[in-house]
Amino acid sequence: MHTPLYTEKDYEAIVKQQHKRWLLLTLPCLLLLAVLLIALLSRILWLASTVTILIGVLLIAGNDLLIKPLHCYELHLDHSLHGRTSESELPFLRLSDNIDLVDGVHYRQLFCTDKDSKGRPYERLFYFDAEKVFPAIEPGAVLHITHHDLFVADLELV
């Protein structure tokens, strides 16, 4: 029996985690915003400037470190589960040990053998999610690959 690479539960979990991180980022900003309003009303300009800078740093750094990676992975899951996908049955060549960052998500390069319009073989590249465990597959085994662009949405041994 085949278990899918991604499920709706995975997507919902990422969305929930993203909402929690936004909440964790918003609460300190609201506190700093209250301090900013008090500083502006009291005309303490050095405090208002400092708090404004802190809010900016917190929002920029928090977005880059906490929110953006989850948002990129959410987009990957959305495309894999709900987007337009294609299917291919190709012989497996190898999986790269290197992890690449593509569109904000960590992937491993998956190479398969395909043929061009003239029947000549070439290496076809796909990106396999580095967070997922790649099954033990021998080179030459035929894979049924469901993919969105170059990104593997599902993988099954034929």
- Tell me: the pLDDT tens digits for 57-76? 999 999 999 999 999 999 99
Calculate mean pLDDT across residues 74-89: 95
Instruction: Indicate if the pLDDT at residue 22 is higher than 70.
Output: yes
Give this prediction's pTM.
0.87
User: What is the residue-averaged pLDDT of the chain?
Assistant: 94
CA distances from 143 to 2, 78, 92, 123, 125 (A): 13, 23, 6, 14, 13
pLDDT of residue 1: 66
Q: In whole angstroms, give the CA distance from residue 153 to residue 24.
A: 31
Radius of gyration of the chain (CA): 23
Q: How far apart are CA 21 and CA 64, in angstroms?
A: 12
